[in-house]
Structure 1
Amino acid sequence: MVAKLCEYNWGCRSFLFPFKPDGEHYKWYGRCNLGVCTINIVDIALTSKGDKEVFWKLFDERMENLVKPACLLRYDKLKGVKAKVAPLLWQYGVFARLNADDDITKALDKMGYSISIGYNGIYEVTKIMTGKSHTTKEGFEFAEQVVKFLNDKADKWKAETGKGFSVYQTPQEESTDWFCNKLKKKFGIVKDVTDKGYITNSYHIDVREPIDIFSKFTIEGKLQKYSKGGNVAYAETGDLTNNIEALYEVIKHMYNTNIHAEINNEGSCKCFKCGYEGKMDYDTNTLEFECPVCKNRDLKSMSIVLRVCGYLSSKGKFIAGRFKDIINRVKHLE
């Protein structure tokens, strides 16, 4: 059940702060994230068939019976783990300065940590439940109810258990594809949901939707605040080298809307066969990049640098869902 309805990633992410001695034999730098367990909210929406009473009932059940136990398991799996299993992290100061045989939870409990509740597909969920995008008034109101529900659960569980629950905007490196394939197998082709080949990341506006950068950041900023465990928004632009004034206005807008965001141009791509530099063409059937000048498709003689999901990647070959997400992105500022 967990495998079908959640993305269950083991991982550890640190948030580093200035060195802070605590007066005991270990000293710590920051707090640790124990990983993300992502609930597939789109599955809940499709299962409910648009019935909001059924949706909220299922949502609550899956949060309590799937996500909460999975998140607590992350912490419990670390009980009894000794600092000596990763000396650099736990003995020599990356996370703490423990003795070799100390339990690492001793440091976790003292310095603080988060267990992250991830989520996906607010755009798709809103379309299923309201028939509209969350760029509309009705759609936004429902989308906000969903992300607030997640945040309220995190606060509730934190109070109940004393554990550091938080809501985290899942990066969706692979689950954008994996979730979509599972949903397609279970529910078939659903317009604006499984027909795209990808599931939209967290609270983001669908990458296909035409919207200006200022409106996008205003809407997403209102939803982002509920993902206290980690978040980022994105916007696609043309080359702003000669339009610094516009870039400055966007940055001011980001501050005014209190949004964490990245502004991405078309990337840096080059064909080493003919010397072309710029945006590459692509084949939607084979999912291959192609040089628009010499038609080269050999990745070994190309440099493909694009924003994947919060970082630039030069590997040039992506899973199908991620590729379809990338090629469907519209510009929010030219």
Structure 2
Amino acid sequence: DRHFSRQNIIGSSPAMTKLFEVVEQVSPSEATVLIHGESGTGKELIAGMVHYNSFRETHPFIKINCAAITETLLESELFGHEKGAFTGADKKKEGKFLQADKGSLLLDEVSEMPLSMQVKLLRVLQEREITRVGGNTVVPVDVRVIAATNKNLTEMVNKGKFREDLFYRLNVVLLEVPALRNRGDDIPLLAVHFLTLFSEKNRKKIKGFTPAAMDCLIKYHWPGNVRELMNTVERTVVLARSDYIDVADLPMVQRQPLPENAFDIRNSEQESVRIEGVSLETIEKTAIIKMLQAVNRNKSEAARRLGITRKTLHKKLKQYGLMP
């Protein structure tokens, strides 16, 4: 599947280059893989890379989110059930393990799997066979398991929330997916990729980001990682009114709390001050733009509301290239 090929996964930062090297080493093996990373980092993409670079690539790549299914239904989803196994089971069902036979099964958010299910999963990994819910027949399965989590499983094991034996069974090879804030070189590549994607999707002709906007994207801390960046760019494209995305268009700047002395030019360390990863200079520029828009470019009124003199405002406009 080209979607999961190395060429289609954006990342040339040292952190991602190192990850790709490990993936290439691990993929051809039969080892169980545990993928760890914050929410939104792209763990499913890495799991897909492992599968489609393995000898199982022509066989199914099946995914299941362990957190999205109730405890009572999870066993049936994984192992299948016989007709009449429980109320509503009006026909025999094949579970994810059988669907993934000779291929790979991604257990996403494996940390959310109940302890009772962890015992059953461990047995399947050890015996390489399953029994459908409500049945007695043992069915052999040939599946490579890839597990993903955003939790610290070692910590969960220590607290008795995750089985130690299952942890060691899953953690044969650990792949750490870096947070977006630790792969800053990739942010411009990803931002431009998403800009192109959503411009085409929404039939818009956005040419790019202004240097100040790109600088803001690079300096932001991205708690939601690549998923947050993607959603940010999509929202920005949809609401864009000009050919270029500027700082004032970025939602994370619009949400920034402004300190009382944000516009005090006596602050000689202004350049180095950061608020949640965004420079104070960027926030100040954005606030001036928004204020001028609010007062129809009445500089005297804008200066009054900002708590600075008209002369200081003029100096700021010149500094930020905002003079008409």
Q: TM-score range by the shorter chain?
A: under 0.3
Larger gyration radius, structure 1 or structure 2: 2
Q: Which has the higher contact order (CA 8 A, sep 6+)?
A: 2
Q: Which has the higher strand share?
A: 1
TM-score under structure 1 length normalisation: 0.25
Q: Which has the higher helix share?
A: 2
TM-score under structure 2 length normalisation: 0.26
